[in-house]
Amino acid sequence: MKIQDTLSNTEKELDISKKVKIYLCGVTVYDESHIGHARTIIVFDVLRKYLDSKGVEVEFIQNFTDIDDKIINRAQTENTTAKIISTKYINDYFKDFDELNVKRATNYPKATEHIEDIIKFIEKLIEKQVAYITKNGVYFSISKFPEYGKLSKKKIDELLSGARIEVDEAKKDPLDFAVWKFSDGEPVWNSPWGKGRPGWHIECSAMSTKYLGENFDIHGGGRDLIFPHHENEIAQSESFTGAPFAKIWVHVGMVTINGEKMSKSLGNVKSIKHVLENWGSNIIRLFCLSGHYSKPIDYSEELLKESLTKWRQVETCYYELIHANSKNHEEISSKIKKIGLEFDNALDDDFNTHLALSAFFQLVKEANRLAAEEKLGKDDAQIIKTEFERMLEILGLTIPKMTEDEKQKIDDLIASREQLRKEKQFEDADKIREKLNEMSIELIDHKENTIWMKKENIKAEN
């Protein structure tokens, strides 16, 4: 499997002959998660499920930044503690992402629970003389890391001319960044240098090393983390170990709204909760996977509607497959195999989920075609269903399960409708159909039989 690496700007082969170790920069828990977070995390979720499906063991670490100025500010305005704020939003996070059918990470380390590790990390940086102490805190000295800027492809003098860097006379270089900030206010921890709290970037260096070792396979996050976050992580970690940090850097493009970035100031942030309520998890996942992960994707009703159309086809396909009972038959196994290969090839080639989805929809179309032509036999359906379910699992799409009781009830209603139709009592027959519609059950009349499908209720559709 090849993946584009931001650092070398080339495609790199991911070694799947042994356990794959992934570190994903998660969220700062000071507010609701939004659709941008969802995209990054869903992309990594599919990557992970794909590796799972190939039998590759994956260790997946995703941090929570639970100490940060924004959390503290929020706590102050709400007259509460940072701990309460971060706990609340971590709970919200799990609620949202469980509903999005994202598999839980191997571990979700939190900055506040790794202060010891962070302090040890900083101690070594000081020992190696790449970090120094000022009256404000402990700073990493970028002049001690000659390769600074290699990830973001920035030159140090160009960064300086950006002129938007706050001046701190105590720092040796304006670009030096804090690994430890002195502070008296809560929350606060003791350190060998004085009371305070960790800087932002240090937690990821300390925690990734702790859980995954010095050199792991993939380090990822949103594109906006390339600078300064990941650049600084590289500087710290490679200074610490003297060895290369992550093997492959993967960055997921931004979600824009009408071509603009989502931001609080523009007031265009779409929370996951809100979008879930209107569209549900399947549509969101299809939407997030509809473009190449590295490119921006524009959030629009039109695109979501397109995903909805596709989802309806998928639902139909599923119910055609489980009800298939045609006596006719068409040889399809080689075709299905080919589509499955296309799906895998797409993902192997820099994780092209758009092409993988089109392979998936080809499969759906093939099944629906056979059903329409009354040629979907039980055995054929089984062959297609195996492949269909494999893809569904990797993409993280879910078709709601129904109880046997519900199914029986539906079958009974269909049987009485059939009777009425035979007796040409169409008005009464249609009443039953309407009644089923109200239960989100849609009937599909085939020549030989009538089958039903349960349509997911999508609020935005109404």
> Rule CB under 7 A: which of 398-417 touch RNA?
none
By the 8 A CB rule, do 40 and 294 touch? no
Size of the site for RNA (CB under 7 A): 84
Q: Is 306 in the site for RNA (CB under 7 A)?
A: yes
Distance CA 153, CA 132 (A): 26
- Per DSSP (E only), the strands in 89-209 are 131-133, 137-140, 177-182, 196-198
Q: Which stretch binds RNA (CB under 7 A): 99-107, 110-118, 223-231, 377-385?
A: 223-231
Query: 């706990």: which residue's tokens?
Result: 87
Helix ranges (H only) for 213-299 are: 231-241, 272-288
Contacts of 34 (CB under 8 A, 6+ apart): 262, 269, 270, 271, 272
Q: Is 37 in the site for RNA (CB under 7 A)?
A: yes
- In terms of CB distance, is 210 or 421 closer to RNA? 421
- In terms of CB distance, is 57 or 266 closer to RNA? 266
Binding mask 225-264 for RNA (x = CB under 7 A): xxxxx----------------------xxxxx--xxxxx-
Distance CA 49, CA 52 (A): 5
Q: Which stretch binds RNA (CB under 7 A): 124-132, 284-292, 377-385, 399-407?
A: 284-292
Least separation in angstroms between residue 17's CB and RNA is 26
Q: Is 448 in the site for RNA (CB under 7 A)?
A: no
Instruction: Specify the amino acid at residue 179.
Output: V
Query: 């670490």: which residue's tokens?
Result: 61
Q: Which stretch binds RNA (CB under 7 A): 118-126, 208-216, 311-319, 326-334?
A: 311-319
- Please state the φ and ψ torsions of residue 16, each to the nearest 5 degrees: -105, 15
Q: Is 105 in the site for RNA (CB under 7 A)?
A: no
Q: Which stretch binds RNA (CB under 7 A): 20-28, 73-81, 101-109, 273-281?
A: 20-28
The residue from 52, 298, 330, 348 that contacts RNA (CB under 7 A) is: 298
Q: Is 302 in the site for RNA (CB under 7 A)?
A: yes
- Beta bridge mates, 13: 2
Least separation in angstroms between residue 280's CB and RNA is 17
Q: Is 193 in the site for RNA (CB under 7 A)?
A: no
DSSP 8-class letter at 448 = S
Distance CA 63, CA 114 (A): 11
Least separation in angstroms between residue 184's CB and RNA is 21
DSSP 8-class letter at 271 = B
Least separation in angstroms between residue 242's CB and RNA is 26
Q: Which stretch binds RNA (CB under 7 A): 102-110, 187-195, 297-305, 381-389?
A: 297-305
Q: Is 339 in the site for RNA (CB under 7 A)?
A: no
Least separation in angstroms between residue 455's CB and RNA is 9
Looking at residues 115 to 144 of the shown chain, list those that interact with RNA (rule: CB under 7 A): none
Least separation in angstroms between residue 96's CB and RNA is 13
Least separation in angstroms between residue 152's CB and RNA is 6
Distance CA 36, CA 43 (A): 11
- Print the SS3 string covering 399-429: CCCCCHHHHHHHHHHHHHHHHHHHCCCHHHH
Closest to 364 measured CA to CA, from 310, 311, 314, 306: 314
Q: Is 208 in the site for RNA (CB under 7 A)?
A: no
Provide the angle, in degrees to the nearest 10, between the axes of the packed helices 115-127 and 231-241.
Answer: 70
Tokens of 365: 């179309």
Q: Which stretch binds RNA (CB under 7 A): 47-55, 119-127, 331-339, 422-430?
A: 422-430
Q: Is 36 in the site for RNA (CB under 7 A)?
A: yes
Looking at residues 358 to 387 of the shown chain, list those that interact with RNA (rule: CB under 7 A): 358, 361, 364-365, 368-369, 371-373
Contacts of 423 (CB under 8 A, 6+ apart): none
